[in-house]
Structure 1
Amino acid sequence: MNNLKINDIKQLVTIPDYSFYIYILLIILAALVLLLVIYFIIKSFLNRKKSDEKIAFEKLQNLCLKNSKEDAYNITKYGKIVAKDKRSKKLYEELKEELEKYKYKKEVYEFDQSTINQFHRFMDAIDV
């Protein structure tokens, strides 16, 4: 009885197993995607441009307030760009009214102390 051959049971068949290779491929692809994301994040941080508000704020900070006519025009031009919130807009409007006497004239005097103080108060109110 031990020597009988059974025809219904077949020999074991080897099945090709590619799961290990697929796993390694997925790890490599995930690493490449991660490296690309890190590359683009670093690239975006290095190539950031300054906003218009920052440029205008720097120009306002660098004014020497000696040439009153030219500086009055520059304060009016760049002040409009940096005045964003309610308080800074109100201070800008007050400063703009104060600067009207230095614009549109052939001969102008230097800024008086109240105008300079108002300009410094406006600059302190700006958040850039």
Structure 2
Amino acid sequence: MNPSEIPIRDIKPLVPIPDISIYLFAALLAVGVLLFAAAAIFVWRRWRRRRSVDPRIEWLRRLDRIDYRDPKKAAYLMTRYGRLLAEDKRRQEILSQLLPRLERYKYRKDVPPLDDETKRYMKLFIEMSKDAL
């Protein structure tokens, strides 16, 4: 017998194997795109929120809400936020004239009420800061 004519009996025909690797790849790709989109939206919103908030506007709001009936607190707030808001020459000049007037309302237990001159300086500074922003 010729070796090419000998039947081989132990080799079986190929069996089809279900291949789902393309579906797994598509699912992984979809999850990756969704995670990337969620992260991008999160970062964009956070950046936009931080970019739009100007601390100077908040400082000016706090100065607008000063209670002139409490002169000690008003003096401390005006000193703190006034120094932060005094960016140009005119506001620095007004603040340099205002700070010595505020000294008598700080560092004491009992303080007198704010006089009209000091209130005018404070309001002038606040108005100048509003115009600058």
TMscore range, shorter length: 0.5 to 0.7
Residue 114 to residue 46, structure 1, CA distance change in 2 (3 Å): same
Structure 1 spans left out of the alignment, 5+ residues: 1-38
Paired position in structure 2 for 1:97? 100
Identity among equivalent positions (%) equals: 26
Determine if the alignment matches structure 1 residue 115 to structure 2 residue 118. yes
Per-residue CA distance 1:64-84 (angstroms, 9 max, x = gap): 211000110011001011110
Cα distance in 2 for partners of 1:47, 1:92 equals 29
Cα distance in 2 for partners of 1:103, 1:46 equals 36
Paired position in structure 2 for 1:55? 58
Cα distance in 2 for partners of 1:47, 1:104 equals 36
Q: Any runs of at least 4 consecutive aligned residues in structure 1 with deviations exceeding 6 A, and if so which?
A: none
Where in structure 2 are the equivalents of 1:67-78 lying within 5 Å? 67-78=70-81
Cα distance in 1 for partners of 2:49, 2:111 equals 45
Larger helix percent: 2
TM, length-normalised to structure 1:
0.62
Deviation at 1:95, TM superposition (A): 0.8
Structure 2 spans left out of the alignment, 5+ residues: 1-40
SS in 2 for 1:77: helix
